[in-house]
Amino acid sequence: MQVFFDYPWYFVPLCLLAGAVYSIALYGLRRKRQSSDRKVAVVLATLRFVTVSVLVLLLLGPVVKRKVNSRERPLVVVTRDVSGSIAEAERGIPDGVTDLEKKYEVVYDSFGAGSTDIAAALSTIGDRYAGRNIGAVVLISDGIHNQGSTPEAAAKGLAVPVYTIALGDTTAQRDAYVATVRCNRTAYAGSRLPIEVTVRSSQLGGRRAMLTLSHNGKALASQPVSYDDNAFAQTFTLPLVLEKAGLQSYTLSLTPVEGELTADNNRRTITVEVLEGRRKVAIVAPAAHPDLGALKQSIESNPNYQVQVAVGTQGVAAHKGDSLKGCDVVILHNLPSSPEWLRWIQSLPTTLPRIYIVGSQTDLARFNSLHCGIEITAKKRLTEEVTAAHNNNFTLFALPDEVCNRITRLPPLAAPFGTYRTAAGVQSLFYARVGGQATDRPLIAFGSHEGTRCAYVMGEGLWRLRLHDYLMTGNHDDFDRMVEQMVVYTATQSRRDRLHVTAERIYQQDEPITLHAEFYDDNWQPTNTPELSCTLTSIDEAKSSSSYDFHPSGTGYALTLGTLPPSRYHLQAHTVFGGKEYGWSGTFVVEAYDLEHLNLVANHTLLNTISQTTGGTMLTPDQAGELPRLLAERDDLKEVLYSHTRYTPFISLPWLLVLLVLLLAIEWAGRKYYADSFPE
């Protein structure tokens, strides 16, 4: 144990001197005493010296440094599967597992609500209890997993033994089901959409069935299915011609065979958003640039978009007048760069969404004259290299965090050097990082101009980002997804609605639903001052309505609905501003997809593999009583001794207060007992 002071060391003798002076003044300057009285005076003076010295020393704020040891019992994490494939009678905790609490610290967890992802459950344990003395993991499951990555790899990553308790029945049942359906969820009216369907069956060898694709009760295509053996799996392709625009639901059904375990998994309904026509994107630039090719390739990776590139004044001649009215969004690269380009931009329809890419050829003074939402003040036309810093408070649309994190590691863009000023309502998806230091300068941002959406990329050199994305991941997915989100968000609102709600058109049954909304005031600036509410109505057979209130988020609104039952929903939002009512309506679909009833045969082989590869053991519920003995036989499940340094203020030590009170009490008693020798 060591003692430290906030003051120099020579203050300590001064504290002792203060105690000595006080005790001498109190006991040493009295009249002459007898020998016995002098001994008592020395004792009392010593007590006063110690008490006063300690009190003065406490004014220096001494701190005690000491080493503290603590012990932690092994932690056993018990996680159980509560998915639909587990029978109600098997969802409890076996008695042998609860007996572990006598010797170990036991925590309980569960997974599998809606779908079963064993790998995610094991990875969550590793993240949640990182740094703890985890001795073992007990996994109670039937081994059926229908989402996520390989459970064996996640179990190895824990670096602790995983003991599995196998539930369910491994006996193969007579059953056939529609396993997977693959198709584009967005297509155009009049186009042909192939639908790939994988059918699986067990113990139905030699039987026959019919796979049918129907729409509103009308059969559109069919395919005979012959179950060649007892473990059957085959993929079929059914043609589909899309005729009517809108959200269209199609049903894939497999005729039941006599003796099947269940027919609930013989049907699958999918929803396709059928558009009137492909969206058109125009890329306009004063001169050729590698960014143009990178943007074109990224946008055209989505078959729902077609791109036209116009370079120079001759290329733009085709876009003069009203020719850009057919475009959903225009990308202005390094524009405006001259007075002619400025006049051309000003002649564009005010309702045409646009994406500004500002680079070395952009005339900043003329760019500022557009008053499009961002202005740059610069004395000279200089550029600097800036990288991306993700804005975690961005609310206009969702780009996964892992994608954003990888984008921040991409090469820098060449951005104009100057002072940036953004208008109200402009949100930055990425800020500019200059010299490794994050700033509040926009790098990629979104806003609106007179009610029309705009996007801003404050720098050129996007082609390097796309190439480096391929070097990092082996594909262009991150860059393409970012560009696609820019185009989709910007082109979504080509009308001048004061109120707009952003929602996906198709959700899965267990997918959390969050809606975002925007409202513009009379100056076409986003505001969330007025209250915004909505009515959500299920428009299928069982009609029901519910009312919700949006809450302010950023410059707009947000509403979390959570998960909804499968149905087609009609959303109607409304608000009042300036005495006028404003509304918005739209439709989305929640698809039914019961993963838990696709496969009901327990996979004990997977559970045994997890246990064997991690050093654990697979047990049945009747054998769970052996679990305490198995853990007790392990040499690696021991208490861990932790040693750490603790700094404690001297004044907070309780025994010190007791000591001071005791010294003062003894001195007071001595003075009272020898009152004649120490008159007041």
**In terms of DSSP H, where are the helices of 28-171?**
35-58, 95-98, 118-128, 151-158
Within 8 A by CB and 6+ apart from 412, the residues are: 385, 386, 387, 459, 461
Reported confidence tier of residue 87, pLDDT bands at 50, 70, 90 = low
| Predicted local confidence at residue 542, as pLDDT | 64
Three-class SS state of 593: coil
Q: Which amino acid is at 385?
A: E
Reported confidence tier of residue 435, pLDDT bands at 50, 70, 90 = confident
Cβ pair 465, 421 in contact under 8 A: no
Q: How far is residue 490 CA from its own chain's centroid?
A: 24
Three-class SS state of 23: helix
Provide the CATH topology of domain 175-275. Immunoglobulin-like (2.60.40)
Q: What is d(CA 462, CA 449) in angstroms, rounded to the nearest whole number?
A: 24
Q: Which comes out higher in pLDDT, residue 89 or 83?
A: 83
Average pLDDT, integer, range 508-515: 84
pLDDT at 240 over 60: yes
Integer angstrom CA distances of residue 555 from 393, 404, 488, 531, 552: 11, 21, 20, 13, 7
Do the domains 175-275 and 499-591 sit in the same CATH topology, yes or no?
A: yes
Cβ pair 449, 523 in contact under 8 A: no
| Predicted local confidence at residue 457, as pLDDT | 96
DSSP 156-220: HHH-S-EEEEE-S--SPPSEEEEEEEE--SEEETT-B--EEEEEEEES-TT-EEEEEEEETTEEE
Reported confidence tier of residue 212, pLDDT bands at 50, 70, 90 = very high
- Using alpha carbons, select from 308, 452, 311, 491 the residue that is nearest to residue 370: 452
Q: How many percent of the chain have pLDDT more than 90?
A: 32
pLDDT at 644 over 70: yes
| Predicted local confidence at residue 551, as pLDDT | 94
Mean pLDDT, the chain, as a whole number? 85
| Pairing assessment for the beta strands 532-538 and 208-215 based on DSSP bridges | unpaired
Cβ pair 155, 162 in contact under 8 A: yes
Reported confidence tier of residue 321, pLDDT bands at 50, 70, 90 = very low
Q: For the CA atoms of the chain, what is the radius of gyration?
A: 37
| Predicted local confidence at residue 259, as pLDDT | 82
| Predicted local confidence at residue 93, as pLDDT | 84
Reported confidence tier of residue 616, pLDDT bands at 50, 70, 90 = very high
* Residue positions counted in the chain: 680
CA angle 95, 98, 100 (to 5 degrees): 125
Q: How many helices (H) and strands (E) does the chain have?
A: 15, 36
Q: Is the peptide bond between 530 and the residue preceding it cis, with omega within 30 degrees of 0? A: no
pLDDT tens per residue across span 386-430: 999 999 888 787 787 888 988 999 999 999 999 999 998 899 999
CATH class, domain 499-591, is mainly beta
pLDDT tens per residue across span 513-571: 999 998 988 777 788 999 999 999 998 766 788 899 999 988 889 999 988 888 889 99
421, β-bridge pairs: 375
Q: How many percent of the chain have pLDDT more than 70?
A: 92
Provide the CATH topology of domain 74-170+602-638. Rossmann fold (3.40.50)
pLDDT tens per residue across span 271-313: 888 877 678 899 999 999 999 999 999 998 887 788 989 898 7
DSSP state of 102: G
pLDDT tens per residue across span 35-51: 556 777 888 888 888 88
pLDDT tens per residue across span 116-134: 788 888 988 988 888 888 9
Q: Which comes out higher in pLDDT, residue 16 or 355?
A: 355
Q: What is d(CA 99, CA 120) in angstroms, rounded to the nearest whole number?
A: 27
pLDDT tens per residue across span 340-378: 999 999 888 888 899 999 999 999 999 999 999 999 998
| Pairing assessment for the beta strands 134-141 and 75-81 based on DSSP bridges | parallel
Q: What is d(CA 150, CA 120) in angstroms, rounded to the nearest whole number?
A: 9
Q: What is d(CA 552, CA 527) in angstroms, rounded to the nearest whole number?
A: 9
Q: What is d(CA 428, CA 444) in angstroms, rounded to the nearest whole number?
A: 6
Integer angstrom CA distances of residue 422 from 25, 441, 447, 459: 74, 9, 9, 16
Q: Which helix or strand (DSSP H or E) is residue 220 part of?
A: strand 218-226
Q: How far is residue 630 CA from its own chain's centroid?
A: 38
| Predicted local confidence at residue 363, as pLDDT | 93
Q: What is d(CA 420, CA 197) in angstroms, rounded to the nearest whole number?
A: 53
* Joined tokens for residue 678: 């120490």
Integer angstrom CA distances of residue 508 from 115, 229, 269, 566, 592: 12, 33, 11, 8, 7
Three-class SS state of 231: strand
- Using alpha carbons, select from 135, 141, 85 the residue that is nearest to residue 114: 85
CATH class, domain 279-492, is alpha beta
Average pLDDT, integer, range 131-151: 85
Residue ranges per structural domain of the chain: 2-68+645-673, 74-170+602-638, 175-275, 279-492, 499-591
pLDDT at 89 over 70: no
Within 8 A by CB and 6+ apart from 295, the residues are: 283, 307, 331, 333, 462, 483
Cβ pair 173, 202 in contact under 8 A: yes
Q: Which residues of 380-392 are buried (b: 16+ CB within 10 A; e: fewer)?
A: eeebeebbbbbbe
| Predicted local confidence at residue 32, as pLDDT | 54
Three-class SS state of 83: coil
pLDDT tens per residue across span 444-499: 999 887 778 899 999 999 999 999 999 888 899 899 989 988 988 888 654 457 88
| pTM higher than 0.75 | no
